[in-house]
Structure 1
Amino acid sequence: MNRRKADRAYDIVLFGATGFVGALTAEYLAAHAPGELRWAIAGRSVERLERLRERLAGDCAPGVLQADVADPESLRELARHARVLATTVGPYLEYGEELVAACADEGTDYLDLSGEAEFVDLMYVRHDARARETGARLVHSCGFDSVPHDLGAYFTVRQLPEGVPLTVDGFVRSRAMFSGGTLASALGQLSRGPGLLAAARERGHHEPRLLGRRARAPLGAPRFASEVGAWALPLPTIDAQVVRRSARALERYGPDFRYRHYAAVETLPYALGGVAGAGALFAAAQVPPARRWLSDRMRPGDGPSPEKRARSWFSVRFVGEGGGRRVFTEVAGGDPGYDETAKMFAESALSLALDDLPRTSGQVTTAEAMGDALIDRLRAAGITFRVAAGR
């Protein structure tokens, strides 16, 4: 089935549009999508969707579609109506698989905001082969997890020589707040250590072996990183694995590629505090009453005010080396958890729907599926990709 079939009613369907990040994504699409775009907002409540449509600015008014994760046939109807289906409905491990399956079966391109490594691995095991048969592209982690890191590493690699071993380190700084949905997903992942490891092992059994090439993403160790003037704490998020998968897919990353992913903090006390805080959150996530108490502090759908978001920012600095060359690059922008995530998500959907992209299918990364086209879109939308220095 051709994913670009002209008989699909909509170029893009946004599922979960009335949630916090979903509404921001809808507002971005309404304000920035080309007027000829055919798109729709979807969710459980038609009344809430109609209220959202009424307040959206711009000339590109969306359609309204009703669907519920508890009704798999309604999700299949969404997939049949769309060329690209973008979903914000999480936690994805709990609510996401039926929609992935529907898109894989219908040849519909799929995007989400998942930072849930277990979910992404299971979707590869269960639905990658079917998506390759139908031509569907399954692109997870299209927000702050993991667009700046995946495309930032890709951008850095493009500044280095070809055909030689390459190393890239990413250092994340940010001032931001979490949404209720992000907190729910994080607590769920922290409480599922055995499931996370089992899914990763199962994926490893299914992934084809690389022949004549190697791509690695070791965790690394805490250290003072003189190259960025900060303490570096290993970040065990999905981002490093996404970068590794891009390196597996694209020969431009060279015959032997290594990526390490860090949080950058200015002083040793902050570094020690970060380690202690992460340990406390992990411990709390193992105890159901503590996990419920934390979840109750911020429910899915909640998020910070525009004023607080306006004070938020992020910067990811990369240090790349290979072939006798060393390069420093940066990806930077505003509020990472909401405004910029909505921007990245919307531009990813627009890129899949409208841009002339390399032919890919199955579970793919943003770098593999969209690469330079998405970087160009994000730059035009105000996110910085720059070479800071090189020698």
Structure 2
Amino acid sequence: METGAGAGRGPGRESGQDAVESGRSGVGRPYDVVLYGATGFVGELTAEYLAEHAPAGCRWALAGRSPAKLAALRDRLAAGRPHLAGLPLLTADSGDPASLRALAESARVVASTVGPYVWYGEGLVAACAEAGTDYLDLTGEPEFVDLVYVRHDARARETGARIVHACGFDSVPHDLGVLFTVGQLPEGVPLRIDGFVRAGAVFSGGTVASALTAFGRGPQTLRAARERRLHAPRLVGRRAHAPLGGPRFSTETGTWALPLPTLDPRVVARSAAALERYGPDFRYRHYASVRTLPMALGGTAALAATLVTAQVPPVRRWLMDRYAAGSGPSAERRARSWFTVRFVGEGGGRRVFTEVSGGDPGYDETAKMLAESALCLALDPLPKTAGQVTTAVAMGDALISRLRAAGLRFRVAHTE
């Protein structure tokens, strides 16, 4: 494991060692934040964001398999930022448990972009759970999340590690958007919230690989979900659920709503189960929002075709080979990308319409969400939590405040 001479410095909304110390709970570790998978497409974008926004006094480092690629990335980051010339570089590999253990023991927070996580992610989670190190990732893979809960949640609770999955577009806008919406509704009453997602963006090779892997592992995903249900405690005295629902025309948004069977509604339901503010009986439904019926039919057909073809290994491999890992859309294309998630919440005789929106969802904003999540866990005073927790449970309003300051929009459109 190679390390550089000094930690990175950069402008941010906080500055000075006092800002760092105010959120620090661990002692004796050289790094506040380590970014693992830094030389991948999203990893580089996250590193760029940290280079610009990590506050002075935040000790952060880059980690990955290739020392040469890490050094080249550091050189690019240091161009125009001479204070980053000594940014520490750590070598670790998902197939080398000793290197993952050393990585976890060196940091207070590790953020991983290395997927598909069901293939490459568990070793690092295990190392972080054992070391009491907070762990973040970008997974949208339900199987991986459930396996981590079954195998590592108990140990993480013992050591105090927080395991927070889905810290990008999966599932931050949805999880925190629902939390924001709940805050606009009365307390102690049944709540009903629907989320409607619209986006204009393209995908990278890594995203395609993760999606096809998840789609192609239906039986394994079902087994992992069943095993989780055997281990998870029952919610007593309250109800929190996220039914799939069916396609419909939404009069609230004036669009066709197609149910989205992604990780996002599961994350929202777990936040609702953990937080009493969501009321005694909470329901969330998650939809893709499309403007016309032909678009709705086309989207349904495309999703069905992807699900079917992902079950055929040769076809799945062919599709994955068409998208090179580490590749992604250009900066110009990302600048034209956008997302909007609209929420309609009801409870206690009140109805509220809220919205979370931003720029390129899969890359620029995902890098921002992951970096701000890591800084939030490392630096901000937060409620005491441990084990596998969601962004709403682990960071909640503190992360919303960070993301708003970073340019994401959380707003109340109107109320009734």
Q: Please give the range of the TM-score, normalised by the shorter of the 2 chains.
A: over 0.9
Instruction: Indicate the residue corresponding to 2:337 in structure 1.
Output: 312
Instruction: Indicate the residue corresponding to 2:61 in structure 1.
Output: 40
CA contact (8 A) 1:125 1:206 kept: yes
Moved over 2 A (4+): 57-62
3-state SS in 1 of match to 2:195: strand
Deviation at 1:290, TM superposition (A): 1.1
* Number of equivalenced pairs: 389
Deviations 1:159-211 (A, max 9, x none): 00000000110000000111111110111111111111111111111111111
Instruction: Indicate the residue corresponding to 1:145 in structure 2.
Output: 170
2: CA distance between counterparts of 1:85 and 1:289? Answer: 35
2: CA distance between counterparts of 1:249 and 1:288? Answer: 38
Q: Which residue identity lines up with residue 273 of structure 2 in the other structure?
A: R
Q: Which residue identity lines up with residue 285 of structure 1 in the other structure?
A: A
3-state SS in 1 of match to 2:414: strand
Are 2:79 and 1:54 aligned? no
Deviation at 1:59, TM superposition (A): 6.6
Q: 2:375 aligns with which of 333, 347, 350?
A: 350
Are 2:260 and 1:239 aligned? no
1: CA distance between counterparts of 2:112 and 2:83? Answer: 19
3-state SS in 2 of match to 1:125: helix
Q: 2:235 aligns with which of 210, 219, 228?
A: 210
Greater alpha carbon shift after TM alignment, 88-97 vs 58-67: 58-67
Are 2:120 and 1:95 aligned? yes
3-state SS in 2 of match to 1:156: helix
Q: Which residue identity lines up with residue 230 of structure 2 in the other structure?
A: H
Q: 1:107 aligns with which of 102, 125, 132?
A: 132
1: CA distance between counterparts of 2:34 and 2:359? Answer: 26
Q: 2:306 aligns with which of 276, 281, 290?
A: 281
Q: What are the ranges of 5 or more consecutive residues in structure 2 without an aligned counterpart?
A: 1-23
Are 2:7 and 1:7 aligned? no
Instruction: Indicate the residue corresponding to 1:185 in structure 2.
Output: 210
3-state SS in 2 of match to 1:300: coil
Q: Which residue identity lines up with residue 157 of structure 1 in the other structure?
A: V
2: CA distance between counterparts of 1:298 and 1:284? Answer: 16
Q: 2:188 aligns with which of 163, 183, 189?
A: 163
Q: What are the ranges of 5 or more consecutive residues in structure 1 without an aligned counterpart?
A: none
Are 2:52 and 1:27 aligned? no
2: CA distance between counterparts of 1:371 and 1:290? Answer: 41
Deviation at 1:4, TM superposition (A): 2.8
Deviation at 1:60, TM superposition (A): 5.9
Question: Where do residues 371-386 of structure 1 align in structure 2 (5 Å cutoff)?
Answer: 371-386=396-411
Q: Which residue identity lines up with residue 123 of structure 2 in the other structure?
A: E
Deviation at 1:146, TM superposition (A): 0.2
2: CA distance between counterparts of 1:115 and 1:47? Answer: 29
3-state SS in 2 of match to 1:173: strand
Q: Which residue identity lines up with residue 35 of structure 1 in the other structure?
A: A
Deviations 1:48-77 (A, max 9, x none): 101111111547633100011111100000
Deviations 1:62-118 (A, max 9, x none): 310001111110000000000000000010000011100000000000000000000
Q: Which residue identity lines up with residue 185 of structure 1 in the other structure?
A: S
The 3 A distance-change label for structure 1 pair 59 and 390 is farther
TM-score computed with the length of structure 1 as normaliser:
0.98
Are 2:161 and 1:117 aligned? no
3-state SS in 2 of match to 1:186: helix
1: CA distance between counterparts of 2:215 and 2:370? Answer: 24
Greater alpha carbon shift after TM alignment, 290-299 vs 315-324: 290-299
3-state SS in 1 of match to 2:272: helix
Instruction: Indicate the residue corresponding to 1:340 in structure 2.
Output: 365
CA contact (8 A) 1:33 1:60 kept: no
CA contact (8 A) 1:34 1:60 kept: no
Are 2:216 and 1:195 aligned? no
Alignment RMSD? 0.9
Deviations 1:322-370 (A, max 9, x none): 0000000000000000000000000000000000000000000000000
Greater alpha carbon shift after TM alignment, 50-59 vs 322-331: 50-59
1: CA distance between counterparts of 2:112 and 2:161? Answer: 15
Q: Which residue identity lines up with residue 319 of structure 1 in the other structure?
A: V
2: CA distance between counterparts of 1:190 and 1:211? Answer: 33
TM-score computed with the length of structure 2 as normaliser:
0.92
Q: Which residue identity lines up with residue 237 of structure 1 in the other structure?
A: T
Greater alpha carbon shift after TM alignment, 327-336 vs 57-66: 57-66
Deviations 1:134-168 (A, max 9, x none): 00000000000000000000000000000000011
1: CA distance between counterparts of 2:331 and 2:83? Answer: 23
2: CA distance between counterparts of 1:139 and 1:364? Answer: 5
